[in-house]
Amino acid sequence: MATPEHDRGESKVGRVGLWLIGARGSVATTATTGLAAICAGLAPAVGCVTSQDEFSTIPLPRFSDLVIGGHDISDVSIAKRAEHLVSTGMLPQHLVQAIQAELEDADSRVRPGYFPGAEGVPQAEIARRLAEDIRQFRNGHGLDRVVVIDVSSTEAPIDHLPEFDDLDLLIAALEDPAQEILPPSSLSAYAAILAEAPYICFTPSPALNIPALAQLAAERGIPTAGQDGKTGQTWLRSVLAPGLAARGLRVLSWAGANLLGGGDGATLADPQAVAGKLQSKNRGLQSLTNAATTPLHIDNVPDLGETKVAWDHINVEGFLGSRLTLQTTWSAYDSMLAAPMILDLARLMGLADAAGQQGQVGQLGFFFKDPWGSDEHAFAEQSRLLLDWAQQAGARISAMTHMPDGRVSQGAAAR
Amino acid sequence: MATPEHDRGESKVGRVGLWLIGARGSVATTATTGLAAICAGLAPAVGCVTSQDEFSTIPLPRFSDLVIGGHDISDVSIAKRAEHLVSTGMLPQHLVQAIQAELEDADSRVRPGYFPGAEGVPQAEIARRLAEDIRQFRNGHGLDRVVVIDVSSTEAPIDHLPEFDDLDLLIAALEDPAQEILPPSSLSAYAAILAEAPYICFTPSPALNIPALAQLAAERGIPTAGQDGKTGQTWLRSVLAPGLAARGLRVLSWAGANLLGGGDGATLADPQAVAGKLQSKNRGLQSLTNAATTPLHIDNVPDLGETKVAWDHINVEGFLGSRLTLQTTWSAYDSMLAAPMILDLARLMGLADAAGQQGQVGQLGFFFKDPWGSDEHAFAEQSRLLLDWAQQAGARISAMTHMPDGRVSQGAAAR
Amino acid sequence: MATPEHDRGESKVGRVGLWLIGARGSVATTATTGLAAICAGLAPAVGCVTSQDEFSTIPLPRFSDLVIGGHDISDVSIAKRAEHLVSTGMLPQHLVQAIQAELEDADSRVRPGYFPGAEGVPQAEIARRLAEDIRQFRNGHGLDRVVVIDVSSTEAPIDHLPEFDDLDLLIAALEDPAQEILPPSSLSAYAAILAEAPYICFTPSPALNIPALAQLAAERGIPTAGQDGKTGQTWLRSVLAPGLAARGLRVLSWAGANLLGGGDGATLADPQAVAGKLQSKNRGLQSLTNAATTPLHIDNVPDLGETKVAWDHINVEGFLGSRLTLQTTWSAYDSMLAAPMILDLARLMGLADAAGQQGQVGQLGFFFKDPWGSDEHAFAEQSRLLLDWAQQAGARISAMTHMPDGRVSQGAAAR
Amino acid sequence: MATPEHDRGESKVGRVGLWLIGARGSVATTATTGLAAICAGLAPAVGCVTSQDEFSTIPLPRFSDLVIGGHDISDVSIAKRAEHLVSTGMLPQHLVQAIQAELEDADSRVRPGYFPGAEGVPQAEIARRLAEDIRQFRNGHGLDRVVVIDVSSTEAPIDHLPEFDDLDLLIAALEDPAQEILPPSSLSAYAAILAEAPYICFTPSPALNIPALAQLAAERGIPTAGQDGKTGQTWLRSVLAPGLAARGLRVLSWAGANLLGGGDGATLADPQAVAGKLQSKNRGLQSLTNAATTPLHIDNVPDLGETKVAWDHINVEGFLGSRLTLQTTWSAYDSMLAAPMILDLARLMGLADAAGQQGQVGQLGFFFKDPWGSDEHAFAEQSRLLLDWAQQAGARISAMTHMPDGRVSQGAAAR
Ligand SMILES: NC(=O)c1ccc[n+]([C@@H]2O[C@H](COP(=O)([O-])OP(=O)(O)OC[C@H]3O[C@@H](n4cnc5c(N)ncnc54)[C@H](O)[C@@H]3O)[C@@H](O)[C@H]2O)c1
Ligand SMILES: NC(=O)c1ccc[n+]([C@@H]2O[C@H](COP(=O)([O-])OP(=O)(O)OC[C@H]3O[C@@H](n4cnc5c(N)ncnc54)[C@H](O)[C@@H]3O)[C@@H](O)[C@H]2O)c1
Ligand SMILES: NC(=O)c1ccc[n+]([C@@H]2O[C@H](COP(=O)([O-])OP(=O)(O)OC[C@H]3O[C@@H](n4cnc5c(N)ncnc54)[C@H](O)[C@@H]3O)[C@@H](O)[C@H]2O)c1
Ligand SMILES: NC(=O)c1ccc[n+]([C@@H]2O[C@H](COP(=O)([O-])OP(=O)(O)OC[C@H]3O[C@@H](n4cnc5c(N)ncnc54)[C@H](O)[C@@H]3O)[C@@H](O)[C@H]2O)c1
Ligand code: NA
Ligand code: NA
């Protein structure tokens, strides 16, 4: 298999580091495996939005310009995890075997993440350590920019504290060794800000939903995107609901069930953790249907392994009070849906950063259940917005690179 | 229930006749019932695209500006058919009772259609009779324009004849009492052309797919639209397929089954008739997925009555050769989906005609499995094109009506 | 429609009263409507097990030997409730119209049920009143026996009290005006015992699950059966699970969802009430599959009206570790499934009583999610056991009736 | 994994050869792989009826008493085929690797089958050659009996010929080198008769449905069983339909679709071949439901590989004319369902033969869509009949083996 067209030639946006919080998890391992396989010409980039023809003229970083590193709190290496994912039937054995060296290489760039209660030092100090890991990754591998993506375990929603609304109070609390005021996802986001790295939240965790942190990110001009990858059932809903609406049909109820095993299944078996997930899953649909969506259920069904199965039952009012019902059953390896999006996000955020974009990149809402900086949930419209934005960002970069020095150094380098 | 907003005030495009070929069929009866119910304020126009907010500023004919008449070869009156549709559970009894007079009224405007082999006169003469029916309808009811919509029984595909490519040969054959060269749908379309009435084909029948007829329609400047209403499973496919494509996912197979009873079910139990239907059903999907769609099946299941049930099984290639499968089951009263579209089409074609539009109106492709004058099958894109077009047509009309005489008389009147 | 064969001739078991706790509910109203329609020859007894050919030689009470009365706490009459059930599309209007008089008649035999907290008298006194209602029904209508069936609203599970294990303590507490020790379903069951009426529990409520009450029923020789009608999804599971087992296949997980509207939907929206239901739903499946069934969900989806929709996803291990998955979607009017079973139960319990049966009739486990007096959950086996038992009971009755006086007077009369 | 209980001790029925017509096909390869894996203690016999507890006291041949050989017309070895089945994801790689030697061993016992038109000799001669292969297999491996099972490609239905009703005419035609009067499946069945081997037809091919051949088999006392393995959708129907019937519910229509890839998918893409399959699929259901089953469709969907997906839509009449609908979706590796049945059939037919059974063994109808020697299609009833029969056959053998010589030599040896 030949290197894809747009991986030829020289990148205009330089080499991009992809720093994964949760680098040894299922999504991260699949993304790492996939990137190596694509670069080795062993697999096409099916499932990557950015490998579509429409994106071929946009100066995105090439797949081969991406370098993966990250944080994790698990001791199971990426290669070991990949082996496990082979045994569940998800990852193809021959691919994993062929790119064993790349997996070990990536694993050597994984640093210990933050495990609450484990260190006995102020969170501020931990944040500085995490930020330093990101900086060393950037400098140590001659990267033009590093995109941080959180793909770690889903956390429970948190109670609001006064410190969350006041940066000074928050910083004071962070320096207090007796407090653990931020959940891990927010501490990681804070570290990304400190390292001046574009930050993306692929999970439903609290992360940047701490007003003081969000404000800090904005002040420092960090481009951000989130939240909670829209990969399966919610994605399907965001395709169907606008279609029904465009026909003047009225959704009466949208009920459903979710079965999943794997690491995420185990995490979400915890009613606390699942709460956050269900909130972001339902938000978009509520907005798309103006309807009281029936609360969705997520069941942990370990024997399904890495497969997620989702059933939806949609009851719709049509002409003269008639009913139409639509049922959908979706069955897929969850991480196989998420991983190509991680690569897309790295490329697109690399582009954003190179183009000098700051703040919430709402046009990346395409990828998220709960988009930051956008109220658009309809998928077809999100597709259009994404492409338009990417073309404009690309045009800005092309304009810059027609300037004397020819290489774009926006982002952290410029900040 | 109040008259909808956009049914207030005076129409700028005048009164529009809706001439239904197959006026006593299920779709036609449901449309006629629904129009009366909407006008009487007994039911909202749920399922009508044109009753959406986005269309509220466009000078469409109001529902109350529509008058229904048509051709049929059945002796069962619209009211009788409606009664039957109540007994199957599809039409609500109280509605049908409340608008009994309107159904009888509409039925009094139904004229005998063309039944092959029954008359022993040249087809040309029959066409002139059919056209005269349309003209009398227009004049007798003071209509500004008449839109002809074919909702009659599906016909089998036909073999191509030399006459179909040469208008003179065709006209000669039509005058020959010994020949029945055109199938009924095409003869009806020819009659519409003779009556200078905008023509819409909601069926998969041959209709205007006779090059010589299509050319004649074009020469006479008749606005046309078709073909084969995209109401259910095919519509769903045209929503899902572009969504999958926009994520870089690759459809491997799209297989399915269709169960239906009712009049259409009985017609399509005939392998000849079903052939045409299946062709138009598959065409769009082929184009949307670049895939060898598995041939679809249509089964006549009489005990389902007017309900159509459709199952689809979609096998998709994702990241690293993984598979995702999506199944959909759709269950709805078929005519309840089609009828509001018939009302939409009458209003939109009324608009087109008033705005002076001629030839194939590709933007009405939104409504069809096999759109004339357009290659776009993706539903979200079709929605956008439809709205843009309607707004422009509206703007043209508003511009005209700001002229001294204030009322638009494009269309047949002007031709 | 002719009276069914087995409704001809004279009954050997006399006239049977059917006393429904919850006589104005959806299940009861449907049963009452159906009985009247069957007796009037307006509908066949489709859905009744006892109208199968295999039962035609068994001396069951005829449909026309059944007389309905009952308790309820609602003021909405059976006729009004039936009207509502017509408006939801469940009951056919013409049937309800045709048997209006019978509905009013039945409603005239409904007495006020027990509403906790409303009366300020000891529960013992209420129980005596309820029992007296049953006795008067029996005597007032010349009934040979009365079968009490609880089809009232599902109650929440209750905490165990010391009085539940000791009849004397319980009776003392019942006489105490300051206590309400029994939930309504148990008080009703107690009343049935006092009235010496065979008792059936069609709900998952506490009912006879109070050891002291169960003991009393046993001592008095009351035939009983229960519990929680197995009408839909659980029934389907009890058909499929034994089939899979008989092939040596191994169920790994059985997950599912339940959507329902209607009165039962509203009741089960209460997490307390649903708890009891879910327990009895899962019990049988656990026993049939030896598997940790994923907890089932019940969602209240009001727009579904009286329809229940249930989805199951079954993951099965086959040969050499392979997987097979089976999904089922069930959609039905819940009360239309339950009502014929109520008539069956009345006939079969009438037979049991006439045959002198006492205690738990385990062979009626066919009808229940959580069978009393039986551990058999496999439906095919339950069918066989039911038929065998009915034939034997019938034979016993035939033997008795060959005796001089010829009419069977077992049951309350003999006790 | 330990050898299963009933594989310990010494067999009372001796070693049984399993001669597979189509020995290199998907079903045969899976059965061969599975047998080796079970014997090596690498996999439990999940999916085998005979490994259920109820069968543990019956003196069946042990798995380790089975030896596989057969005919095929393909040059692709069993090991190669197994490798292919690994690549499709069906067979587990580690199992196939571990039992490589056994696959090669089995393949060394495969002899060339009959390929119509290839040999230019009378069919009688070919039949003698095929029979000789079976005899040599029996003698060469010291087998007490050989069970022949046809698992070769499905053949088209054939026209009836006068020779089929007259054994003398048929034998004359077989000796005529200019004629090929028998289809391959029937020639193979004839060879089994000549070799005095019990014969089982797992396909829907003509096989023994030639009256003259059936008569010959009967005269020679050959035990036979068939026809067309009931592994998936038809099996599911035979579980559900009796359940619905036992509740007095009335099936109105049973419609469905079948998607499959693999070798069988390709074969059945041929409308001729599929005709036979569809006939046997529908026969049982017709009998179970008394209903006009909607003709089932089988689609070849190559990208599904070895997976078969089947959808059923069942429309049922319930109480008072109400409707209930049930949908099922079944997804499984087809050969994984068939292979354990092949092993079951070998063991059970070995038992039958040892017990001296002759003619059609109707109790093996459990395994077939179109059972020979039985009209019972209800699966639960078939399960009971199978177990009862096996226990009786076992008892007969136990009685014999308590005789002086202690080892059973019924079957071919005795004939
Ligand atoms: N389709 C999808 O897979 C999908 C879609 C949307 C969102 N997500 C989200 O992506 C996340 C990852 O999913 P997954 O299936 O890979 O889960 P996983 O459990 O396999 O992986 C999570 C990883 O995060 C690590 N981790 C936990 N806490 C950490 C910390 N404080 N710092 C660093 N690493 C930490 C864990 O050790 C583990 O390796 C989840 O939050 C999930 O909700 C996934
Ligand atoms: N969702 C939908 O209902 C849908 C979608 C797409 C297309 N369609 C098409 O709409 C058409 C109508 O469907 P229906 O369900 O109303 O069918 P129907 O059978 O109920 O009605 C067809 C009517 O056409 C009449 N007719 C037949 N030949 C005629 C002729 N030569 N001239 C005039 N009238 C004639 C018949 O008498 C009948 O009244 C069909 O062709 C169908 O394929 C319907
Ligand atoms: N398929 C089925 O419908 C099905 C299956 C199994 C069990 N059930 C059970 O049957 C019961 C009835 O279901 P439904 O759909 O008819 O519910 P419903 O809510 O329509 O009817 C319940 C009736 O009980 C009455 N009631 C409540 N408390 C009472 C009391 N203390 N004494 C007398 N009457 C009282 C209510 O007023 C109401 O009329 C429920 O418990 C349900 O769980 C139904
Ligand atoms: N669940 C199931 O798999 C199932 C269920 C019921 C019936 N069956 C039947 O089992 C049969 C085998 O299915 P499969 O999936 O293994 O098919 P397959 O195509 O993989 O295998 C068929 C084998 O038969 C061989 N063959 C063809 N003609 C032959 C001949 N004349 N003599 C000897 N060998 C010959 C072929 O070379 C091939 O190896 C089919 O007829 C199928 O309909 C299978
Ligand atoms: Na937002
Ligand atoms: Na029990």
User: In order along chain B (415 residues), what is the average pLDDT of each group of 10 residues?
Assistant: 47 90 98 98 96 94 97 98 94 96 98 88 96 98 97 94 96 95 98 98 96 96 96 93 94 90 73 71 72 72 90 95 96 96 98 96 96 94 97 92 57 52
> What's the one-letter identity of residue B130?
L
Q: Answer yes or no: do D307 and D352 share one domain.
A: no
Per-residue pLDDT at D386 exceeds 70 = yes
* Digit-coded pLDDT (tens) for C187-212: 999 999 999 999 999 999 999 999 99
Q: What is the C-alpha to C-alpha distance for residues B354 and D174, in angstroms, rounded to an integer?
A: 80
Compute the distance between CA of residue A234 and CA of residue A315 in angstroms, rounded to an integer.
Answer: 17
- Give the whole-angstrom CA distance, residue A185 versus residue A201: 9
Asked if residue B143 and residue B97 are part of one domain, the reply reads yes
* Ligand 1 contact via A334 beta carbon (within 6 Å): yes
- pLDDT-above-70 percentage for chain D: 91
| A49, A242, A246 member nearest B247 (Cβ) | A49
Q: Which residue has the higher pLDDT, B242 or D266?
A: B242
- The reported pLDDT for the residue numbered D6 is 44
Distance A186 CA to ligand 1 centre (A): 14
Contacts of B317 in chain A (CB under 8 A): 46
Measure CA C126 to chain center: 23
CB of A338 closer than 6 A to ligand 1? yes
Neighbours of ion ligand 5 (CB under 5 A): A 371
User: Is residue A165 a contact partner of residue A212, using CB atoms and an 8 Å limit?
Assistant: yes
Angle ∠(A254,A255,A258) on CA atoms, nearest 5: 130
Centre of ligand 2 from the C-alpha of residue B331, in Å: 20
Q: Which residue of C has its CA nearest to B89?
A: C89
Q: What is the pLDDT of chain C when averaged over all its residues?
A: 90
Mean pLDDT across D68-79: 98
Which residues from chain B sit within 8 angstroms of residue C86, using beta carbons? none
Ligand found nearest the CA of C364: 6
Cβ neighbours of D91 in C, within 8 Å? 320
Given the CA of residue A27, which atom of ligand 1 is nearest to it? 16
Q: Which atom of ligand 4 is nearest to the CA of D152?
A: 24
Q: How far apart are CA A310 and CA A328, in angstroms?
A: 8
Number of domains chain D is built from: 2
Coil, strand or helix at C224: strand
Q: What confidence score (pLDDT) does residue A289 get? A: 74
User: What integer is the mean pLDDT of A275-288?
Assistant: 72
Q: How confident is the model at residue D369 (pLDDT cuts 50, 70, 90)?
A: very high
Check A327 against C327: CB less than 8 A apart.
no
Same domain as A344, residue A329? no
Q: How far is the CA of B251 from the centre of ligand 4 (A)?
A: 29
Edge-to-edge strand ranges of the sheet holding D297-300: C297-300, C250-260, C307-317, C323-333, D323-333, D307-317, D250-260, D297-300
Domain of residue A272, residue span: 233-334
From the list B252, B255, B301, the residue facing D255 with the nearest CB is B301
| Spatial separation of the C-alpha atoms in residues A208 and A18, rounded to whole Å | 19
Nearest CA to ligand 4 atom 41: D154
- Residue identifier of the C-alpha nearest atom 19 of ligand 3: C263
DSSP character at residue A196: T
pLDDT digits (tens, 9 = 90+) for C222-257: 999 999 999 998 999 999 999 999 999 999 999 888
**Cα–Cα distance, B33 to B85 (Å, whole number):** 11
Residues D239 and D388 in one domain: no
Read off the pLDDT of residues D282-308 as tens digits, 9 standing for 90 and up: 777 777 776 656 667 788 888 898 899
Contacts of A176 (CB under 8 A, 6+ apart): A122
Question: DSSP secondary-structure letter at B14?
Answer: -
> Of D295, D315, D334, which marks where a domain is finished?
D334
Beta strands in B53-188 (DSSP E): 66-72, 110-112, 145-150
Do residues C195 and C252 share a domain? no
pLDDT of residue D108: 98
pLDDT-derived band at D17, boundaries 50, 70, 90: very high
Chain C hits for D32, CB-CB cut-off 8 Å, are: none
C213 lies in the same domain as C273: no
**Substitution candidate for ligand 4 out of D151, D187, D201, D235 with most atoms within 8 A of CB:** D151
A250 to chain B: which residues are within 8 Å by CB?
A: 46
Q: Tokens 């003469």, residue? A: B125
pLDDT tens per residue, range A121-162: 999 999 999 999 999 999 999 999 999 999 999 999 999 999
CATH of the domain at D289: 3.30.360.10
Q: Which helix (H) or strand (E) holds D299?
A: strand D297-300
Residues B284 and B402 in one domain: no
Q: Which residues contact D236 (CB under 8 A, 6 or more apart)?
A: C243, C326, D310, D312, D328, D330
**Closest residue of chain A to C260, computed from CA coordinates:** A255
Choosing among A322, A325, A347, which should be mutated to test the B contact, i.e. which has the most B CBs within 10 A? A322
Residue of D nearest to A328 (CA): D329
What's the average model confidence in pLDDT over C20-27? 98
Take residue C135 and report the two structure tokens written for it: 């006795």
Q: How far is C270 from chain D (nearest CA, A)?
A: 27
Q: What are phi and psi of B235, to 5 degrees?
A: -60, -45
What does C101-168 look like in DSSP terms, one character per residue? Answer: HHHHHHHTTEEE---TTSS-S-HHHHHHHHHHHHHHHHHHTT-SEEEEEE-SPPPPP----GGGG-HH
Against chain C, the chains showing at least 3 CB pairs within 8 Å are A, B, D
Tell me: do A329 and A348 sit in the same domain: no
Report CB contact under 8 Å: D337, C320. no
Q: Can you tell me which atom of ligand 2 is nearest the CA of B115?
A: 31
Q: Is the dihedral of CA A168, A173, A174, A177 positive or negative?
A: positive
Which of A295, A303, A315 faces C303 most closely, judged by CB atoms? A315
Distance (angstroms) between ligand 4 centre and the Cα of D189 equals 15
Strand ranges (DSSP E) for C227-356? 250-260, 297-300, 307-317, 323-333
Task: From A282, A302, A334, give the residue that closes a domain.
Answer: A334
Separation of CA C291 and ligand 4 centre (Å): 35
- Asked which of B275, B303, B332 is the last residue of a domain, the reply is B332
* Closest ligand by atom to A30 CA: 1
Residues D257 and D225 in one domain: no
D47: left (phi over 0), alpha (psi -120 to 50) or beta: left
Which residue from C19, C27, C272 has its CB within 8 A of the most atoms of ligand 3, so it is best to mutate? Answer: C27
Q: How far is the CA of C169 from the centre of ligand 6 (A)?
A: 27
Query: Which domain CATH number covers A223?
Result: 3.40.50.720
User: Quick one: D84 exposed, middle or buried, by C-beta within 10 A (0-12, 13-18, 19+)?
Assistant: middle
Out of A333-342, C163-172, C266-275, least confident range: C266-275
Q: How far is the CA of D27 from the centre of ligand 4 (A)?
A: 7
Residue in D236, D249, D380 closest to C242 by CB:
D380
* Omega before residue B360 within 30° of 0, cis: no
At C146, which amino acid appears? V
pLDDT digits (tens, 9 = 90+) for A186-210: 999 999 999 999 999 999 999 999 9
Residue closest via CA to ligand 2's atom 6 equals B229
Coil, helix or strand for A94? Answer: helix
Residue A247's pLDDT is: 95
**Token reading at A328:** 């959908």
Question: What are the pocket residues of ligand 4 if the criterion is a CB atom closer than 6 Å to any ligand atom?
Answer: D 21-22, 24-27, 71-74, 113-114, 151-154, 184, 202-203, 228-229, 231-232, 262-264, 267, 334-335, 337-338
Cis amide bond preceding A227, omega within 30: yes
Q: In this predicted structure, what is the pLDDT of residue D404?
A: 53
pLDDT in tens, A295-349: 677 888 888 888 999 999 999 999 999 999 999 999 999 999 999 999 999 999 9
Distance of CA A400 to the CA centre of its chain: 28
Whether the CB-CB separation of C202 and C226 falls below 8 Å is answered with yes
Name the region of A116 (left: φ>0; alpha: ψ -120 to 50; beta: rest).
Answer: beta
* C337, C119 contact by CB (below 8 A): no
Tokens of C274: 């649903």
Say how many Å lie between the CA of residue C321 and the centre of ligand 4: 22
Question: Hey, what are B199's tokens?
Answer: 């023509």
Residues 6+ apart with CB under 8 A from B88: B262, B305, B306
Q: What percent of chain C has pLDDT over 90?
A: 76
**Residue owning tokens 């046009």:** A363
Q: What is the pLDDT of residues D320-353, one digit of tens each?
A: 999 999 999 999 999 999 999 999 999 999 999 9
Nearest CB to D379; choose among C43, C46, C243: C243
Question: Under a CB-based contact definition with an 8 Å cutoff, are residues B320 and A95 in contact?
Answer: yes
Contact with chain D for residue C55, Cβ under 8 A: no
Q: Which residues of C touch D326 (CB under 8 A)?
A: 236, 328-331
D218 and D260: one domain?
no
The answer to whether residues D257 and D114 belong to one domain is no
Window C:65-104, CB contacts with B under 8 Å: 89, 93
Does the CB of D56 have a partner CB in chain A at under 8 Å? Answer: no
Residue entry with tokens 């080795």: A40
Q: Which of A46, A319, A329 sits opposite B319 (nearest CB)?
A: A46
Subunits with 3+ Cβ pairs within 8 Å of A are: B, C, D
List the single residue in B with minimal CA-CA distance to C89: B89
Whether the CB of C381 is below 8 Å from some CB of chain A: the reply is: no
pLDDT at C77: 98
Q: Quick one: DSSP state of residue D40?
A: T
Which range, C2-16, C282-296, D7-21, is most confident? D7-21
- Give the one of D259, D302, D313 whose C-beta lies nearest to B259's C-beta: D313
Q: How far is A263 from chain B (nearest CA, A)?
A: 19
Residue nearest to atom 33 of ligand 2 (CA): B72
Whether C324 and C359 share a structural domain: no
Instruction: Report chain A residues whose CB lies below 8 A from the CB of C299.
Output: 255, 294-295
DSSP labels for D300-362? E-GGGTTEEEEEEEEEEE-GGG-EEEEEEEEEEEHHHHHHHHHHHHHHHHHHHHHTT--EE-G
